[in-house]
Structure 1
Amino acid sequence: MIENNGHRLAFHVTKGHGPTIVLDAGGGEDSSYWKGMVRKLHAATGAKVITYDRAGLGESEVVPGPWEVGSAVSDLKTGLRKLGVTRDVILVSHSQAGEIATYLAKENPKLVSGAVLVDASLPPLYTDEVIARLVAANQPAVDAAKKDPSKPKNRQLISTAESYIPMHKAYHQVSWPDTVPATAIVSEKTPFAGSPEDAQRWRDAAATFVGKGPHRTLVTAKGSSHDIPKDRPALVLKEIKKMRAAQGQPRH
């Protein structure tokens, strides 16, 4: 348990060597999301592997009020520092955790040596038009969550909705640092399997992200839902191993 800004967070560490691999789950999910991946990843790489529960999820304490990506970035950075991890971090970030990864990498390019962004929320998606569409589409789920706000997933959905518009308007302007390699794995079905138009926007955002800088690779998880780590774990493992193997190689 690690304290940051008055609340405590649960970090889980599998000891190893070389670059540290940090697995960060998507919205409403805690470290248990990666349960099947940690053992395989450690066996395949021998790396130190860290998972953690964001505030209000798993064993970590609740932080009242709207969800703030800056607070989430602070929680992760502080946790890593207190665990003695100050460089050579490979982020593996699913869905909403892509927002944490983007800000963490931008603000700390010497801490993050690479990232595998797994069907991640990426800045190019969030035009004003898309934000409005997503707010409208999510409203029924938010209204349903408010009927039982004690559930961690519901609480997280409500807190994210409270800050969604200004947070994503700002996120749309954030750029990934050119010095940090990134692999974006995009699912075939995306989070918007029921909306072909929004699914295409999600795929286009990943392609735009990759095209905006050097050392970026786009990988499509064919046949996969948004839950690529569950549907295509071998693919995620393969891309993490490739990213780890590339560390220390000269970049051109």
Structure 2
Amino acid sequence: MIESDGHRLAFHVVDGHGPTIVLDAGGGEDSSYWTDMVGKLHAATGATIITYDRAGLGKSDAVPGPWDVESAVGDLRAGLEKLGVTKDVVLVSHSQAGEVATYFTKEYPELVSGAVLVDASLPPLYTDEETARIAAANQPAVDAAKKDPSTPQNRQLISTAESYVSMHKAYHEVSWPDSVPATVIVSEKTPFDGMPEDAQLWRDAAASFAQQAPNRTLVTAKGSSHDIPNDRPALVLQEIQKMASAQS
């Protein structure tokens, strides 16, 4: 358990050598999301593997108020500092964790040697029009969550909704540092399965992000839903291995 800005966070570490691989789960998920991946990844790379629970999830303390990506970045930074991780971090970030990765890498480019962004939320998606569409589409789920705010997943959905529009308008303007390589794995079905226009915009955003620098690679997870780490675990493992080997 690590203290950060008055609350405690659970970090889980498998010691190894070379780059430190940090696995960060998507919205509403905690470190247990990566349980099946950790052992295989450690066996394949020998690297130190870190998973953690963002505030309000898993064994980490909840923080009241709207979800704040900068607070999440501060929590990750505090955890890595206290674990003695000062360089050669490979971030593996799924879905909403892509936002944490983007702000973290922008703030600490010297700490991050590479990233694998797994169907991650990326800045090019969030035009004003698309942000408003997503917020409206999510509203029924938010209303349902408010009727049962006892679960961590519902609490996070509510807190994220409170700041969603303003946060993503700002996120649309954030740039990933050109010095940090990234592999972008995009799902074929995307989180907008059944919403063809939004699904295409999600895929287009991944492609646009990948095209913004020569050290970025776009990989499509054929046949996969948004849940790529469970639908295509071998593909995710392969891309993490590639990135970790390149940064060793």
For the superposition of Structure 1 and Structure 2, which TM-score range results when normalised by the shorter chain? over 0.9
1:234 Cα deviation after fit: 0.2
Match of 2:218, SS state, is: strand
Counterpart for residue 21 of structure 1: 21
| Structure 1 residue 228 corresponds to structure 2 residue 228 | yes
- Counterpart in the other structure of 1:117: 117
Number of the residue aligned with 1:199:
199
SS at the partner of 2:192?
A: coil
* In 1: Cα distance, 2:98 partner to 2:132 partner: 20
Match of 2:218 in 1: 218
Which residue number in structure 2 is paired with residue 185 of structure 1? 185
By how many angstroms is 1:83 displaced? 0.1
Partner of 2:35: 35
**1:69 and 2:69 equivalent?**
yes
Residue equivalent to 1:87: 87
Q: Please give the alpha-carbon distance, in whole angstroms, between the structure 1 residues aligned to 2:80 and 2:148.
A: 33
% identity of equivalent residues: 79
Rounded to whole Å, the distance in 1 between the matches of 2:129 and 2:35 is 37
Distance 2:137 2:86 in 1: 40
| Structure 2 counterpart of 1:155 | 155
State the one-letter code of the partner of 1:99: E
- Counterpart of 1:46 in structure 2 is 46
> Structure 1 residue 10 and structure 2 residue 16: aligned?
no
Equivalents in 1 of 2:186, 2:11: separation in Å? 27
Displacement of 1:79 in angstroms is 0.2
> What secondary structure, in the 3-state scheme, does the structure 2 residue paired with 1:21 have?
strand
Distance of 2:109 and 2:70 partners within structure 1:
16
Q: Distance in 2 between matches of 1:202 and 1:134?
A: 11
Cross-structure match for 1:174: 174
Quote the Cα distance in structure 2 between the aligned partners of 1:14 and 1:47.
8
Gaps of 5+ in 2: none
Amino acid at match of 2:142: V
Aligned residue number for residue 129 of structure 2: 129
Q: CA deviation at 1:150?
A: 1.1
Q: Secondary structure at the match of 1:64?
A: coil
Structure 2 counterpart of 1:145: 145
Deviation readout 1:27-85 (Å, 9 max, x if unpaired): 00000000000000000000000000000000000000000000000000110010000
* Partner Cα separation in structure 2 for residue 162 and residue 192 of structure 1: 21
Q: Give the secondary-structure state (helix, strand or coil) at the position aligned to 2:144.
A: helix
Give the partner amino acid of 2:102. T
Tell me by how many angstroms 1:181 deviates: 0.3
Matched, 1:59 2:49: no
Alignment coverage as a number of residue pairs: 248
After superposition, what is the alpha-carbon deviation per residue over 1:72-124, rounded to whole angstroms, capped at 9, x for unaligned?
A: 00000110010000110000000000000000101100100000000000000
SS state of the match for residue 115, structure 2?
A: strand
Matched to 1:238, the amino acid is: Q
How far the C-alpha of 1:247 sits from its partner, in A, is: 1.0
Q: Aligned residue for 1:105?
A: 105
1:141-181 residue CA offsets vs partner (Å, 9 max, x unmatched):
00000001110000000000000011000000000000000
- Displacement of 1:214 in angstroms is 2.5
In the alignment, the residues of structure 2 paired with residue 230 and residue 193 of structure 1 have an alpha-carbon distance, to the nearest angstrom, of 17
- Partner Cα distance (2:231, 2:140) in 1: 27
Structure 1 SS opposite 2:23: strand
Q: CA deviation at 1:212?
A: 1.1
Aligned with 1:206: secondary structure? helix
